Structure 1
Amino acid sequence: MIYTCTMNPAIDLFTEFNSFEPHVVNRSVFEDYQANGKTINISFMLKKMGIDSVATGFLGGFTGTYIDDELNQTGIATDFVIIDGITRINTFIKAGAAEYKAVNRGPAISLAAQAQLIDKISKLTGKDMLFVSGSLPRGVDDSILKRISQLSVQKGFQLILDVSSNALLSCLEDHPYLIKPSDEELAAWLGVKPDSFNSEAQLIEAAEKLLKKGAQRILVSRGEKGTMYVDKEHILFTTAPKGEVVNTACAGDTLLGTFIGSRLKNKSLEDALVYATAAGSSTAFTAGLSDLTDVPELMKQIKLTTHLKGAEES
């Protein structure tokens, strides 16, 4: 079974305005409420591909109930730890060419609740896959990531990590199945400036350093520049399709979910990466998560480049 763990979920409110000015009442021309959180998005995308998963993490209050209900109504099973406090609401504002993101900190999580989550994860087996993504809530130390990666070794489940914390580096020795940094996160982990990655060769060198530390696979989201996938045998790049960017908040989650979903459906690495790149862009071009209907057309714009042991093929 596939499990998705979101420790700091949210309701995301997407709003659009003709203009957005301070000190006056700004009235929206569009609004949409969505149950959200990085791996919650992955559960939604997997479901759109016909793949079941179980969503876990921490939920609390009326907002937590809303998220749980939305997942259940979509046919996604849930197994959250119920906490005191209220799950956060984030607001994303689009006004002309400008995009504003107001992200709240969310409730503090007790040690008892954290222990409950670890207990749930400890019951996973070698037949399972676990996604852990997103920021950590208040009260949760990033050492929990190492605890989860150790459990993946002890219990044998496949672990996929999409986190910005430097604690990820200590998890690499536990050989996670896949990690998904952005190019900015990759630069931060290696202590270099993001603009130093101005060539594919530099990105490849950086990714290979993380492979040597223990990562089995690396999927790098690069926004309008496309994506990169690297493992011990493959180095793949894609370009990104063109379109009007409406919301970038969930594009990386869509990329990751549809890439893994495509591989679970036995698509080749190349086909999975092109499909996922198109799906991630599709989400960026809409207010919420892509419904995947425009993905085939977007795929036609994408160029895939394969690097093999120093030789390059297109």
Structure 2
Amino acid sequence: MIYTVTFNPSLDYIIQVNRFQVGTINKTNFEKILPGGKGINVSIVLSNLGHDSTALGFTAGFTGKEIENRMKDFGCKTDFIHVKEGLSRINVKMKSDEETEINGQGPKISEENIQELFDKLNTLTSDDILVISGSIPSTLPDDMYERIMKHFQDKNIRIVVDATKNLMMKVLQYKPFLIKPNNIELGELFNVTLNTQEEVIPYAQKLQEMGAQNVLISMAGKGAVFIDENKHIYQSIAPKGTVVNSVGAGDSMVAGFISGYLETSGNYEHAFKKGICSGSASAFSENLCTKKEVENLLNTL
């Protein structure tokens, strides 16, 4: 089974307003509500690609229940921890002359809730894959990633980490199965600017030297680079298409990689290509990618 953890899931209220004006009433001409969060996106894309997963995390109140309902609409299994205090957040994403986002806070998560999460994670075995991704809410300790990685370091569970800056660097010592920064995030880790695949490679190798087993670097329209646990380097251009919405593209790449890895019993080249095509297919669509969209792009690589 694949498990995803989203520490602070949301309902994303996506609206479009013509020429938004401050201090007056504005009317929407488009609106949509989706469950949000990086791990949630991974679960949705996995479901679209035909893989079962269980979404874990913390939810609260009526918004938390609606997140669960909408996840089930996508065919996803959920096993969220229901927090007593507060509400799952609503994030407003407004498209107008400029894009504006207002993100909610989320519920207050207690030590008891954290222990509940670990109780659920303790049921995982070496046959499972765990994806932990996204930011840490202020009500959680900032070492949550490390606590999870340390807890499982002797259990041979394949853990995928998609995080930025210190969250990423601090878990490398626990040898995550896969990490997936983009080239901008990779550059921030080492205080450099990385524009080409050739520039990315030595810094991806550094992350591997620091402990990561497999390193996947997304580069938007410039393609991607992947270094597997055997130190083999894969490079690919990006599939051709028109970018409609880049939100969730990185999460789709993670899901596509896992899908390709599992369906070929560990063929890294196929996993890499399916990851690229899944990320691109989501970027070329208003919604997260479908199986057919991914397969269409795979035929072009």
In structure 2, how many angstroms separate the alpha carbons of the residues matched to 1:30 and 1:230?
42
Match of 2:202 among 201, 205, 214: 205
Kindly report which structure 2 residues correspond to 1:196-235, keeping only aligned pairs within 5 A, or say none.
196-231=193-228, 232-235=230-233
CA gap of 1:48–1:149, structure 2 versus 1, over 3 A, is same
Q: Which moved more, 1:145-154 or 1:281-290?
A: 281-290
In structure 2, how many angstroms separate the alpha carbons of the residues matched to 1:156 and 1:234?
22
Task: Tell me the TM-score normalised to structure 1 length.
Answer: 0.87
Q: Which moved more, 1:68-77 or 1:181-190?
A: 68-77
Contact conserved, 1:240 with 1:301, CA < 8 A, in 2?
no
Aligned to 1:20: 20
In structure 2, how many angstroms separate the alpha carbons of the residues matched to 1:115 and 1:200?
42
| Partner SS state of residue 100, structure 1 | strand
Kindly report which structure 2 residues correspond to 1:152-301, keeping only aligned pairs within 5 A, or say none.
152-190=152-190, 192-193=191-192, 196-231=193-228, 232-266=230-264, 268-299=267-298
In structure 2, how many angstroms separate the alpha carbons of the residues matched to 1:27 and 1:116?
42
In structure 2, how many angstroms separate the alpha carbons of the residues matched to 1:244 and 1:105?
33
CA gap of 1:292–1:68, structure 2 versus 1, over 3 A, is same
Q: Which moved more, 1:44-53 or 1:107-116?
A: 107-116
Aligned to 1:90: 91
Aligned to 1:136: 136
| Partner SS state of residue 294, structure 1 | helix
In structure 1, how many angstroms separate the alpha carbons of the residues matched to 2:236 and 2:26?
39
CA deviations on 1:146-185 (whole Å, 9 max, x unpaired) are: 1111122132211111111403322112111001112222
Task: Tell me the TM-score normalised to structure 2 length.
Answer: 0.91
Aligned to 1:78: 78
Contact conserved, 1:14 with 1:287, CA < 8 A, in 2?
no
In structure 2, how many angstroms separate the alpha carbons of the residues matched to 1:88 and 1:284?
25
Contact conserved, 1:173 with 1:214, CA < 8 A, in 2?
yes
Instruction: Give unmatched runs, 5+ long, in structure 2.
Output: none
Contact conserved, 2:48 with 2:289, CA < 8 A, in 1?
no
How many residues matched?
A: 298
Offset of 1:211 from its aligned partner?
0.4
In structure 1, how many angstroms separate the alpha carbons of the residues matched to 2:188 and 2:129?
27
| Partner SS state of residue 167, structure 1 | helix
| Residue type of the alignment partner of 1:146 | E
| Partner SS state of residue 87, structure 2 | coil
Q: Which moved more, 1:21-30 or 1:146-155?
A: 21-30
In structure 2, how many angstroms separate the alpha carbons of the residues matched to 1:300 and 1:74?
26
Contact conserved, 2:256 with 2:277, CA < 8 A, in 1?
no
Instruction: Give unmatched runs, 5+ long, in structure 1.
Output: 303-314
| Residue type of the alignment partner of 1:276 | G
In structure 2, how many angstroms separate the alpha carbons of the residues matched to 1:249 and 1:15?
14
| Partner SS state of residue 42, structure 2 | helix
Determine whether 1:115 maps to 2:110: no
In structure 1, how many angstroms separate the alpha carbons of the residues matched to 2:298 and 2:16?
28
Offset of 1:224 from its aligned partner?
2.2
Contact conserved, 1:176 with 1:214, CA < 8 A, in 2?
yes
Contact conserved, 1:94 with 1:246, CA < 8 A, in 2?
no
In structure 2, how many angstroms separate the alpha carbons of the residues matched to 1:226 and 1:256?
14
In structure 1, how many angstroms separate the alpha carbons of the residues matched to 2:274 and 2:126?
28
In structure 2, how many angstroms separate the alpha carbons of the residues matched to 1:85 and 1:223?
36
Offset of 1:299 from its aligned partner?
4.1
Contact conserved, 1:282 with 1:292, CA < 8 A, in 2?
no
In structure 1, how many angstroms separate the alpha carbons of the residues matched to 2:63 and 2:270?
38
CA gap of 1:285–1:24, structure 2 versus 1, over 3 A, is farther
| Residue type of the alignment partner of 2:125 | T
CA gap of 1:278–1:17, structure 2 versus 1, over 3 A, is farther
| Partner SS state of residue 137, structure 2 | coil
In structure 2, how many angstroms separate the alpha carbons of the residues matched to 1:297 and 1:85?
43
Contact conserved, 1:218 with 1:230, CA < 8 A, in 2?
yes
In structure 2, how many angstroms separate the alpha carbons of the residues matched to 1:248 and 1:108?
30
Calculate the aligned-residue CA RMSD, in Å.
2.1
| Residue type of the alignment partner of 1:222 | M
